[in-house]
Amino acid sequence: MQMYELQRKVGHDLGFKSTIFIGLDFLRDKEMVERLKTDRDNYGDEIAVWLTSDSKAGGGQVWLIRREDKKRVVKNSIDAYIEAFGHAPKSVGNYVMDADLIEIVKEYCPEVEACVAGCFEEGVKVFHGCNNSWYLFSEGMPWGPWYPSKTHSARPAKNYDDWAGVVAVPHLSRDLVLGFENRNDFFASHPANIQRGLANEGYSHEYDYNLCDQYRMQKDFNDGMSYYQMHVSPGWLSRNFNIIDPDKITQTLYIETLQYIAELRDNGEVEVLTFNEFAKEYKKQVEIGKPTVAFAKDILMGSGKQYYWICNPGHRLLVDTFQGGSIGDLRPYAGEYAAVTGPDAKNGRYLYNTYPYIIQSQYRTGYKTHSTDGTRTTLIMSHGGESLDMCDYNTTVEAINNNGNIQQLVLKPVEVKFSDGFTAKIQTVYDFLNDGNILITRRVLSKSDALGELLLQEYVKASYGFIEYPEDMKDITLYCDGEKVIDYTYRNTQYKKEGGKEVSALIPEISTEVVLRPETVASVVTVREGNLFSPYFTLTAEHIVNEDVKEIKTWLQIKKLQV
């Protein structure tokens, strides 16, 4: 209670209206309820429900219990809230709220408008970091607010009929570089977690301010909208075994971060809202299906690394500028993979509220970290019998353009040099469409020899998965120009066609079709299965660039597979 009182005083002294999440035990604590009523009436605080399991369900976390137990937990929590405060709650939350849990909440309490529904990229790495004991697999979701789908809470709804009826947010605002590459629970809008990641030096914690500023910057790419939140429970502020700093430092970092946000508010640079107030504003300003992008820079390690993220109803995707602008993560939302968690989950993946990937350069390797490389995209450039890989070259972001439902990323040109002295300058441009289609343009801006021939191969290597371990690929079929050419049997079979129009892979397990289709007819298209040591599939399209051809355009399409 001492740390809760500290949080109360600091927040109110700074003029903040807080959203306070409380579980069933506190809802039945009359003294606590009266204190919360006073803060609600005097300061405008919002009181919200934090859903917790009970002994009748066998304990554990609420997203991992049976549906009938979820119903009882929701009923008991909502009823206790109404009895305590005389009205229904507008906000509920937990580390994960799967599609089942959100549906149950909305059915029992339609007044709920906002949910804390997941932790951005909290899964495999946190599981390993917590000695394989933190069963919170919730990856592949948006990093900011979203309208969750009825069939998978980590997937944004494609339209009103697909919407679960609430505005969802992640538990914290994560670092969009380190949160992908490292343990994301170390690097987020939670000063104590920053201490766990050793990103502070005693009382010095510039990282906290820089992370807040990086999220504020996202308004430049999202029609003036950005979102940042701090969600800190009292137990993090005193005698927490995860933190090596003295409590005085922990509490000072927390207070100073709030003071920074208050200063931004006082200068008119941010607006501070309760959770439910934000949900109302979000619904006014952001239409269902609207894409969100993020430009992320390394703000801790000094590497100069830049990531571009995009999230729309068709996909969630990351472009890695340090690997030539390759796609390092791709979640095929267009496939509308459906899932819930708990022991009665029908697909047998009881733990995973992760949305599956088809490219994931951290879990399914990536360039330079495997004998034959892993899931990724790239451009293979060939001249004079020599091939170069665009992933060997660093680039940076040149422009981010918002054209409504088409988002464009322009990367700075890369100059490549072959051993015979031939050079070429190539620029990559992505156009991301809301339906899952991605247009990849490779502009050949210059060549040292205008007549020198250059072969460009658009290259996609993919699989599907939820964690690091491979899934069974035997149901996958590979196609060329609409004709099935390979049943996946792990034999490294390849099919090649001159003048082919497209190659594709059908993945029934996640209801997804992946298509690589040159906008103009390629000289050669290929499709290839892998083997058990390299369980992937590869799609490529080759183009010859000469004095008449200045650029190539290729569609990478993500489609829903009708099964």
Q: 301 lies in a domain?
A: no
Please choose, from the candidates 62, 77, 89, the residue with its C-alpha nearest in 3D space to the C-alpha of residue 28: 77
Residues 366 and 475 in one domain: yes
- Beta-carbon contacts of residue 46 (< 8 Å; ≥ 6 apart): 17, 18, 19, 20, 40, 90, 91, 274, 275, 276, 277
Q: 211 lies in a domain?
A: yes
Enumerate the H helices of 161-292 as residue ranges: 178-181, 191-196, 206-217, 247-266, 275-285
CATH number of the domain at 352, please.
2.70.98.10
Residues 359 and 218 in one domain: no
Confidence of residue 549 (pLDDT cuts 50, 70, 90): confident
CATH number of the domain at 249, please.
3.20.20.510
Residues 258 and 333 in one domain: no
**Distance, CA of 118 to chain centre:** 11
Determine phi and psi for 174, rounding to 5 degrees: -95, 155
Confidence of residue 1 (pLDDT cuts 50, 70, 90): confident
| pLDDT digit string, tens, across residues 7-18 | 999 999 999 999
- What does the pLDDT read at residue 23? 95
- Reply yes or no on whether the pLDDT at 526 is more than 90: yes
Partnered with residue 63 across adjacent β-strands are none
Residues 252 and 370 in one domain: no
- Residue carrying the six token digits 């919002």: 46
- Reply yes or no on whether the pLDDT at 388 is more than 90: yes
Q: 539 lies in a domain?
A: yes
Q: 484 lies in a domain?
A: yes
Residues 175 and 232 in one domain: yes
CA distance 186 to 463: 29
- What does the pLDDT read at residue 547? 78
Confidence of residue 380 (pLDDT cuts 50, 70, 90): very high
Residues 138 and 101 in one domain: yes
Residues 232 and 89 in one domain: yes
Residues 218 and 243 in one domain: yes
Which 8-state DSSP code applies to residue 156?
B
Residues 316 and 277 in one domain: no
68-89 burial code (b ≥16 CB/10 A, e <16): ebbbbbbebbbebbeebeeeeb
Q: 295 lies in a domain?
A: no
- Reply yes or no on whether the pLDDT at 312 is more than 80: yes
Average pLDDT over residues 324-330: 97
Among candidate residues 258, 290, 322, the one where a domain is terminated: 290
Residues 101 and 157 in one domain: yes
| pLDDT digit string, tens, across residues 109-124 | 999 999 999 999 999 9
Confidence of residue 424 (pLDDT cuts 50, 70, 90): very high
Q: 296 lies in a domain?
A: no
- Residue carrying the six token digits 């300058």: 425
- Reply yes or no on whether the pLDDT at 347 is more than 90: no
Q: Is the distance from CB of 33 to CB of 85 less than 8 angstroms? A: yes
Confidence of residue 348 (pLDDT cuts 50, 70, 90): confident
- What does the pLDDT read at residue 371? 66
Mean pLDDT, the chain, rounded, equals 95
- Reply yes or no on whether the pLDDT at 229 is more than 80: yes
Which 8-state DSSP code applies to residue 306?
E
Confidence of residue 563 (pLDDT cuts 50, 70, 90): low
- What does the pLDDT read at residue 451? 85
CA distance 117 to 97: 5
- Sequential DSSP letters for 460-505: EEE--BSSSSPPP-TT-EEEETTEEEEE--SS--EEEEET---EEE
Which 8-state DSSP code applies to residue 367?
T
- Reply yes or no on whether the pLDDT at 71 is more than 90: yes
CA distance 347 to 343: 10
Among candidate residues 256, 290, 324, the one where a domain is terminated: 290
> What percentage of the chain reaches a pLDDT higher than 70?
99
CA distance 323 to 393: 6
Strands (E), 160-245: 167-170
Number of domains in the chain: 2
Judged by DSSP in three states, 542 sits in strand
Among candidate residues 241, 262, 290, the one where a domain is terminated: 290
pTM over 0.85: yes
Q: 58 lies in a domain?
A: yes
Residues 232 and 368 in one domain: no
| Range name among 53-62, 255-264, 428-437, 535-544 with the lowest pLDDT average | 53-62
Q: 298 lies in a domain?
A: no
- Residue carrying the six token digits 């360039």: 367
Residues 322 and 199 in one domain: no
| pLDDT digit string, tens, across residues 234-272 | 999 999 999 999 999 999 999 999 999 999 999 999 999
Residue 534: domain span: 306-560
Determine phi and psi for 560, rounding to 5 degrees: -80, 125
| pLDDT digit string, tens, across residues 153-209 | 999 999 999 999 999 999 999 999 999 999 989 999 999 999 999 999 999 999 999
- Residues composing the chain: 563
> Hey, what are 486's tokens?
């390979």
